[in-house]
Structure 1
Amino acid sequence: MRSLGWLRLPLVVTYVFLYLPILVLVVLSFNASKQPFSWGGFSTKWYAELAGNADVLQGLGNTLIVALGATVLSTILGTLLAVGLHRHSRSSLLDAYALVPAILPDLVLGIGLLAFFTLVSMTLGLWSVLLAHVVFGMAFVTAVVRARLSQVDPSLEEASRDLGAGQVSTFFRITVPGLMPAIVAGALLVFTLSLDEFVIAFFTNGPSSPTLPIVIYSMVRFGVTPEINALASILMLVSFTAVISVQRLTRPTDTV
């Protein structure tokens, strides 16, 4: 902070602008009063009421199904794509195409996927949302794992093959353990993005299987209640935990 000089003031203002509304939301989630800006004392009853809200529980179940499925599939496919691009391609165009789903605006990707599902006559529901989340999740995993691959010593794989190990054995015993921090970080990143994603799910979901962000959107249309504040606080806690974990797992390690 000392080295920033006069830049400290706009930096502090920016952080206050970004995080003060979040802090207010978390504080109001413990407000005993139903009035948004009338403090009625400290209470955790809104968190307890979430457990009895059938719509929220249904949305949470659908979201967890999609997020966990998208995390598993995106991690596997994204890791394989990153390894394939790193070993067998030197084309910057292919690298760019692999990351396009992560760069495209959610609105464009959602409309494009909806048009594709309609073209192939696919019924919209959790399966369509799952496939849509895999599309952009795979791109994030590829980017994270690809960055890690540049730090892996290729001589370890060569030594493994020289000692008689096959390609498959070398991949699972040498390559995967070396990439594990990036793989876990990519998986956490996909889980967080899928958990909070609204726009793509809104376009690719059916009417009978709403995800949690869609449920929150339907509740917010009638006003922000303390239940929504409590639910948003829980989601932010999960997201912050996952993001911090990703940041720690992807830190550059000192090499000897």
Structure 2
Amino acid sequence: MSALAPPRTASTAATGPPSEPAPVRSGITVPAWVWAIPPVVLLTLAVLYPLGSVISESFTGPDGGFSTRPYVDVLSSTRFRTALTTTVLIAVGSTVGCLVLGLVLALIIAFVPFPGSGSAGRFIDTYLSFPSFLITLALLFVYGTVGMANGMWTDLTGADSGPFTFLSTPWGVILAEVTFFTPFVLRPLLAAFAQIDTAQLEAASSLGARPARVVRSVILPEALPALVAGGALVLVLCLNEFAIVLFTGAKDVVTLPMLVYSSAILEADYTTACVVATINATLSIGLYLLYRSLTSRLGAPTDGGRRARP
């Protein structure tokens, strides 16, 4: 005869039979910092090591040891100073052209009603994906030595060559860069204009303000951060632009990227190329830090009310 089960008390009946103890996990906990090792190693091998090699080579003397002589030689050379001056002038000229043209186009697209304004905004987004050499190649078809403009001129006048030769000059490089980089200013401006309260524009107009004053007093203060951000971005991109200068065929226009190319590829002077590349990168980083400082001080456009068309 089996033993009788112990009587169930009220608490036992309420809680049910005692549960079995949870199994103990025997796995080893991996520290969180271990998961950071693969991306750090990959970043070091793919980015930091090549950059470190360039900087290290720039400080290598003729005997293979550490030396600042390569920097002294490059900074004192007329060739480098001319390339630096040309780079800065082209970058500043292109940036000013992009700011003016981008501001005018953004004002028209955002505040002047016309059919197809939405399609124009979408085309700008597509235009940003184009490679720079494609735009330069298109300009060559129009204004190149054997382009359409010179061809029409020779057909009409019977001359041996046409008058359009500016693409091989700094002005041609500036035209190509303005054509390509203007959307990089236009896109942030359109986003900023979309945040402007149209009630402010209507109030200014009702008080008798002319369109030019409305733009100067109401629109530009709100769009200033976007204007500064777009201009700083274009300035950095123009300082480092290589394909446009190469495809225009401007042999006498030597910028810092072109000097790096000619020193490394054509002359096999890798130390000079690394010195110029390091200086160019330092200028770009300095401009980027200045851009971050300016945008943080200017702040973001205010929000509220009805918006202009994006």
Fold shared, TM-score > 0.5 on shorter chain: yes
Alignment pair present for 1:181 and 2:225: yes
Deviation digits for residues 184-237 of structure 1 (CA, Å, limit 9, x no counterpart): 111111111111111111111422222222222111113243332222112112
Which residue is 2:80 aligned to? Answer: 56
Give unpaired runs (5+ residues) of structure 2: 1-31, 151-163, 305-310
Over 6 Å off, 4+ runs: 4-7
The AA in structure 1 aligned to 2:283 is V
Relative contact order, higher structure (CA 8 A, sep 6+): 1
1:162-181 matched pairs, under 5 angstroms: 162-181=206-225
SS for the counterpart of 1:170 is helix
Percent identical pairs in the alignment equals 26
**Structure-2 separation of matches of 1:105 and 1:53:** 33
Change (3 A) 1:84 1:253: closer
1:230–1:93 Cα change, 3 Å: same
Is 1:45 matched up with 2:80?
Answer: no
- The match for 2:132 is 106
Tell me the amino acid that sits aligned with residue 119 of structure 2: L
Decide whether the 8 Å contact of 1:148 with 1:182 is kept in 2.
yes
Quote the residue 1:237 is aligned against. 282
Question: Structure 2: how far apart are the matches of 1:220 and 1:204?
Answer: 21
Report the Cα distance in structure 1 between the residues aligned to 2:301 and 2:208, rounded to whole angstroms: 29
Q: Is the 8 A contact 2:256 2:280 kept in 1?
A: no
Distance 1:138 1:161, change over 3 A: same
2:12 is matched with: none
User: TM-score, normalised to structure 1's length?
Assistant: 0.84
Distance in 2 (alpha carbons) for counterparts of 1:206 and 1:230: 23
Q: TM-score normalized by structure 2?
A: 0.70
Count the aligned residue pairs: 248
Residue deviations 1:162-197, cap 9 Å, x none? 333211111012211111111111111111111111
Q: What secondary structure, in the 3-state scheme, does the structure 1 residue paired with 2:128 have?
A: helix
CA distance in structure 1 between the partners assigned to 2:38 and 2:92 by the alignment: 39
Q: Residues 64-103 of structure 1, C-alpha deviation per residue, up to 9 Å, x if partnerless?
A: 2211110001011112212221223564421133344432
Check whether the contact 1:111–1:203 (CA below 8 A) recurs between aligned residues: yes
Secondary structure of the corresponding residue to residue 76 of structure 2: coil
Aligned Cα RMSD in Å?
A: 2.7
Indicate the structure (1 or 2) with the bigger Cα radius of gyration: 2
- Which residue number in structure 2 is paired with residue 208 of structure 1? 252
Point out the more displaced range, 4-13 or 78-87.
Answer: 4-13
Bigger helix fraction: 1
Contact 1:145-1:179 within 8 A present in 2 as well: yes
The superposition leaves residues 100-146 of structure 1 with CA deviations (integer Å, 9 ceiling, x where unpaired) of 44321223223222222222232121111110000111110001212
Alignment of 1:76 onto 2:100 = yes
